[in-house]
Amino acid sequence: MKEDKKKQLDYKSLNEILKTGNILLKIIFTISVLAIAVLVLYLIDKTNVFVTIGKIIGILSPLFIGIFLSWLLEPAINYFVKNKVSRKLATFVVYLVLIFLIILILALIVPEFISQVNELIKKIPTLLTTVNNFISDIFKNFSSSSFDTTTMKDNLLNSINKFVNNLTSNDLSGIVDSLSSSVKFLSNILLGLLIGIYLSLDFFKVNKYFKMIIPKKYHKDIKTLRSSFNTMLRNYVNGTLLSVLFVFIFTLIGLLISGISSPLLFAVFAALTNIIPYFGPYIGGIPIVLVGFAISPVTGIICLITVLVVQIVDGNILLPIIMGKAVSLHPITIMLGLLVFEYFFGIMGMILATPIIATLKIIFQFFNDKYHFMNKIVNE
Each residue's pLDDT, cut to its tens digit, for the chain (380 residues) gives: 545 544 444 556 666 666 666 666 666 766 776 677 677 767 766 777 666 777 777 778 888 888 888 888 888 898 888 888 888 899 999 999 999 988 888 787 777 777 777 777 777 777 667 766 766 766 666 655 455 566 666 666 666 666 556 555 544 444 455 455 556 777 788 888 888 888 888 877 777 777 777 777 777 777 788 888 888 888 888 888 888 888 899 999 999 998 887 788 888 888 888 888 777 888 888 888 888 887 888 888 999 999 999 888 887 777 666 665 566 776 677 777 777 777 777 777 777 888 888 888 788 777 777 776 655 544 44
pLDDT of residue 11: 59
Helices 280-295/263-273 angle, 10° precision: 160
pLDDT of residue 378: 45
Q: What is the pTM of this model?
A: 0.65
Query: Nearest Cα to 270, choosing from 296, 238, 243?
Result: 243
224 neighbors 361 (Cβ within 8 angstroms): no
341 neighbors 353 (Cβ within 8 angstroms): yes
How many angstroms separate the first and last alpha carbons of the chain? 35
Burial 52-89 (b: 16+ CB within 10 A, else e): eeeeeeeeebbbebbbbbbbbbbebbeebbeeeeebee
326 neighbors 232 (Cβ within 8 angstroms): yes
pLDDT of residue 172: 47
pLDDT of residue 114: 74
Query: How far is Cα 85 from Cα 97, in angstroms, rounded to an integer?
Result: 16
Burial 231-240 (b: 16+ CB within 10 A, else e): ebbebbbbbb
Number of neighbours of residue 288 by Cβ within 10 angstroms: 24
Q: Which own/partner pairs from 284-288 qualify as long-range (CB within 8 Å, at least 24 positions apart)?
A: 285/311, 288/251, 288/255, 288/260
CB-count exposure of residue 286 (10 Å: 0-12, 13-18, 19+): exposed
Query: Nearest Cα to 98, choosing from 12, 189, 181?
Result: 189
Query: How far is Cα 191 from Cα 61, in angstroms, rounded to an integer?
Result: 9
Number of neighbours of residue 106 by Cβ within 10 angstroms: 13
